[in-house]
Structures are given as structure tokens and as C-alpha cells.
Chain A
Amino acid sequence: DIVMTQSPDSLAVSLGERATINCKSSQSVLYSSNNKNYLAWYQHKPGQPPKLLIYWASTRESGVPDRFSGSGSGTDFTLTISSLQAEDVAVYYCQQYYNFPPTFGQGTKLEIK
């Protein structure tokens, strides 16, 4: 199984500041035939289901604010929130969909400083 490791486990950022969450996979999730990274990011707020933010490592899902961006390739990926809003407080998960079983990082808890 591909192991996904996020850092940090928790993060406190001031409103309006940048938040950066890292995700590392134990093997590459870049599929050479289409040059796509099989990596997604989700936002999970208490009492709500997870919400898809980004797929293909950097493509925003429809309706996701453009302050959310994803980058990286191969084994190292980053989710960036350019200007933190109060409603962004949540746990964020990366997930590889390169192969079975799909696996998640352990989550990063984002709070307001």
C-alpha cells in the first residue's frame, strides 16, 4: 500500500495569512503515460462530510475558492491557502488514487492563531 504522510499534524495561522500543508507519498503517484499525479485534497469540518478540494494534485474542484491551490509532483505535494479565512478551520487530508487501496494521509488540523 502507498503510505501518505502529512506535515505538520497541526497548524495555527493568523487570519489573512498563508497556510501550507505538505504531503509525501511512499512511492510516486505520477502516472507516466498521461503525466498526471493521482493525488487529491479534502477539507473535513466537524459534523460534516469531507469535501473534495483538489484532484490531479492541482486542479480545483468546481466551486472551490481560488485561495486554495495544490502543487507538487511525484512524491511531494503541497496544499496552500493563500489568505486564511475563518471558515477554513478544518482538518485537511491528502489522498492518493494511483492504485488500490486508495490511502489517506493522517490529516492536518488547521486552526486560527
Chain B
Amino acid sequence: GAGVSQSPRYKVAKRGQDVALRCDPISGHVSLFWYQQALGQGPEFLTYFQNEAQLDKSGLPSDRFFAERPEGSVSTLKIQRTQQEDSAVYLCASSSEAGGHHNEQFFGPGTRLTVL
């Protein structure tokens, strides 16, 4: 595709439900990032994949958060037993090279998660 796509765009979950958020990066991009953006805040790093390998998950807020990228392309961010504090926009970004700050990260439109 032309850019990074994410689905669903909006998700409403009841507290305690599990959710799965999907990211389709730009075709061929090696690196994939997940960020969490709370209302009125800047995005915060969650995790980083280089191809299928999850090289950094230091930003995941709890063990309820799990991300995977099994074939090195599409990625899924799963949140188990959602809590109200999980309400945020979840952004996915991809870049063409492996790591390194010189590589522009292309962002998707985000998934807005609301936990009731």
C-alpha cells in the first residue's frame, strides 16, 4: 500500500475485555514501532520490531500488553483484560532500514481505543 494502515480505526471495549489492534506497515519496511498516545500528550514508545524479531519491548506498560510480527510484515498489538487507563490512541510506524535515528518513521492513522 501507499502508507501505513491500521485497523480498526476506533475500538470501544468494556473493562476486562481483550483487544487486538492491527498494523500493516509499508511493504518492505524492516522496522516497525508501536506508540501509545494519551489525550493531550505526545506519543510514547511501546515496542520495536526488526523484521519478525521484537528487539525492544521496554515501553510496554504491563504484561497485559503483547505484540507480535510473526512474518515480518503485519503486526498485532494485543491488550488483555483492558483497563480504563489503557484508553489512548495506538500508533504504528514503520521505516525502511533497521534501527538508527536517520531513518524516517512513517506513521499510520492510529487506533483510538476507549475502555468503558
The answer to whether A and B belong to the same complex is: no
Chain B residues close to A by CB (< 8 Å): none
